[in-house]
């Protein structure tokens, strides 16, 4: 796959003061922008959701659900989070609001869960949030079988325009599981809000295949978002040493892991000599070496007209924000931003205020707003 244009963002270290928080000013090819620090002191924040009253929910991988209100991180965690395990890459992961949250107060959490002797897995629970605590917590999905590994839980979620919930489950570090549709690992599951297989799922009634599967052959998806115009669900996933991918989810598609990859094993040995083959859906874009992508959002606000429709991806390993421009699913521009920030970016969200919002992955994790420098 060719990159048509690769532009490096220039970052300056100028510090300015802004209300309500310290801001840092940066430049890109198309615009000048700054980061406003909304909150800090979070313990490995993983996901962000915007409440109708203008406040935000933030998950911490270490097991806490936090509330930011009036640009202030509330001191006490929200009670009622389901039982979970914090181990390796697992913990409390994604939070997403029901499309009719303003009326039904329903949200969904993904997280790692452990049962002694059986091992760990990715779970999804539905709950109601009354503004102070979670209630009516109900587990609606559990990836089976469990395993002892503490890697590749995935956990990203998104709703489509029909109200179906997409849930990513990683291969759990056991790569061959991603090609087995009777094993819940290594794919994306499409569910109703009750956890049942969504109507029209591609493997319904097909032998031993799990009817919740929508795609398979996915290694470890940690970015998922809905395209603002087509309604397609876009994802990105971690490769091994290289081979991170951007994909559009297609019903029944096999994305190839580990039969094909642009990456190599962490040992330095080859996993396969194939990067494509018949029956495999090729990525729209891939990275070699790996950037370790996490979080993604299309920019749809009015604050940055030059970025309208661009896809933004966070990077953990390479500690940057990547701006991608696609035309008819073809990459035409790529720009690296925030290289000098030196932060592991875990999540990227399009805010209702027209700003991009970022989470940084550390024991003193931050919530940033990306806003124009004017």
| H-helix segments, the chain | 101-104
Structural domains of the chain ordered from first start: 6-372 (2.120.10.30)
- How high is the pLDDT of residue 21? 52
- How high is the pLDDT of residue 358? 98
- How high is the pLDDT of residue 207? 87
> 3-state SS string over 255-273?
CCCCCCCCCECCCCCCCCC
Are the C-beta atoms of 79 and 142 separated by less than 8 Å? no
Full-prediction pTM beyond 0.85? yes
Catalytic residues, by residue number, are 152
- How high is the pLDDT of residue 29? 85
- How high is the pLDDT of residue 3? 36
Q: Which two tokens stand for residue 258?
A: 């580990």
Secondary structure (3-state) at 98: coil
- How high is the pLDDT of residue 374? 80
Distance between first and last Cα of the chain: 38
> Which residue reads 């109703």 in tokens?
192
Between strands 134-142 and 285-287, the pairing is: unpaired
Residue 339 phi/psi, 5-degree rounding, is -60, -35
Q: Which residue, 110, 135, 136, is CA-closest to 123?
A: 110
- How high is the pLDDT of residue 16? 28
- How high is the pLDDT of residue 22? 55
Q: Which two tokens stand for residue 171?
A: 């291969």
Are the C-beta atoms of 177 and 150 separated by less than 8 Å? no
Dist. CA 150–CA 87, nearest whole Å: 6
Dist. CA 93–CA 215, nearest whole Å: 21
Could you read off the pLDDT tens digit of each residue along the chain, which spans 374 residues? 333 333 333 333 322 223 345 568 898 887 899 999 999 999 999 999 999 999 999 999 999 999 999 999 999 999 999 999 999 999 999 999 999 999 999 999 999 999 999 999 999 999 999 999 999 999 999 999 999 999 999 999 999 999 999 999 999 999 999 999 999 999 999 999 999 999 999 999 988 999 999 999 999 999 999 999 999 999 999 999 999 999 999 999 999 999 999 999 999 999 999 999 999 999 999 999 999 999 999 999 999 999 999 999 999 999 999 999 999 899 999 999 999 999 999 999 999 999 999 999 999 999 999 999 98
Secondary structure (3-state) at 95: strand
């Amino acid at each position: 796959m060719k990159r048509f244009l690769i532009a490096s963002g220039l970052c300056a270290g100028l510090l300015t003061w802004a209300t309500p928080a310290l801001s840092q000013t940066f430049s890109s090819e198309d615009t000048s922008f700054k980061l406003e620090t909304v909150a800090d002191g979070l313990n490995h924040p993983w996901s962000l959701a915007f409440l109708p009253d203008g406040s935000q929910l933030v998950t911490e991988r270490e097991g806490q659900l936090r509330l930011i209100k009036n640009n202030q991180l509330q001191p006490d965690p929200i009670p009622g989070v389901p039982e979970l395990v914090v181990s390796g890459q697992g913990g409390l992961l994604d939070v997403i609001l029901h499309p009719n949250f303003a009326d039904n107060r329903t949200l969904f959490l993904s997280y790692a869960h452990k049962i002694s002797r059986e091992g760990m897995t990715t779970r999804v629970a539905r709950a109601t949030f009354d503004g102070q605590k979670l209630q009516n917590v109900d587990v609606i999905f559990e990836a089976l079988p469990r395993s002892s590994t503490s890697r590749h839980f995935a956990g990203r979620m998104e709703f489509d325009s029909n109200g179906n919930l997409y849930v990513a489950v990683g291969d759990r570090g056991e790569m061959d599981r991603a090609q087995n549709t009777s094993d819940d690992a290594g794919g994306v599951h499409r569910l109703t809000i009750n956890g049942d297989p969504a109507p029209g799922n591609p493997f319904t009634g097909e032998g031993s295949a799990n009817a919740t599967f929508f795609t398979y052959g996915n290694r470890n998806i940690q970015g998922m978002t809905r395209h603002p115009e087509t309604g397609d669900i876009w994802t990105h996933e971690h490769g091994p040493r290289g081979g991170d991918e951007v994909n559009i989810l297609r019903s029944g598609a096999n994305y190839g892991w580990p039969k094909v990859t642009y990456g190599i094993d962490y040992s330095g040995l080859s996993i396969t000599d194939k990067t494509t083959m018949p029956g495999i859906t090729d990525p729209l874009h891939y990275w070699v070496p790996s950037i370790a992508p996490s979080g993604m959002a299309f920019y749809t606000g009015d604050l940055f007209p030059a970025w309208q429709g661009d896809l933004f991806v966070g990077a953990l390993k390479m500690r940057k924000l990547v701006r991608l421009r696609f035309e008819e699913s073809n990459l035409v521009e790529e720009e690296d931003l925030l290289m000098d920030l030196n932060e592991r970016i875990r999540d990227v969200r399009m805010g209702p205020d027209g700003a991009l919002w970022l989470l940084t992955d550390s024991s003193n994790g931050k919530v940033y707003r990306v806003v124009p420098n004017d």
